[in-house]
Copies of this chain bind each other. A is one copy, B any other.
């Protein structure tokens, strides 16, 4: 199951895409809007920042901002950073101890296929897909360069 960590992350990223005009957004502002505990949110944004999905700026006037246009964030990417893994069963997680019955297991193929379905689902959608229709905010550079390519990549 997807925990609040990943769900909050998605909501917050969407919030930033909607409310950020290219400038930094303060954490407490986001927490207030989304009804999330400030301190708890800190840990989530820290992880997203560490992995480069967000850029944090310290000190007065600081905050966080997106580093890419919404179309360039795969939902799966955001969830993996915050949830760790999207594997539906423990034995498919990275670093999981090899199952002794692996070869005989009747259900392993089932989980593997489901894992594929889930990844396809989450990697086939971007942050832009969960924004209100027509919310095409211009970002810093505003270059169209990667946009169509990205869209084509994920929307066959």
The residues of A with any CB-CB pair to B shorter than 8 Å are 1-2, 4, 7, 10-11, 14-15, 34-35, 75, 87-90, 100-101, 105-107, 109-111, 113-114, 117-118, 121, 125, 129-131
Q: Give min CB distance, A98 to chain B, whole Å.
A: 14
Which residues of B have CB within 8 Å of A7?
89, 107
- Report the copy number of this chain in the oligomer: 2
| Contact (Cβ within 8 A) B90 A110 | no
| Contact (Cβ within 8 A) A131 B107 | no
The CB with the most chain B CB atoms within 10 A, among A11, A88, A110, is that of A110
Within 8 Å by CB of A1, from B89, B113, B131, lies: B89
| Contact (Cβ within 8 A) B130 A110 | yes
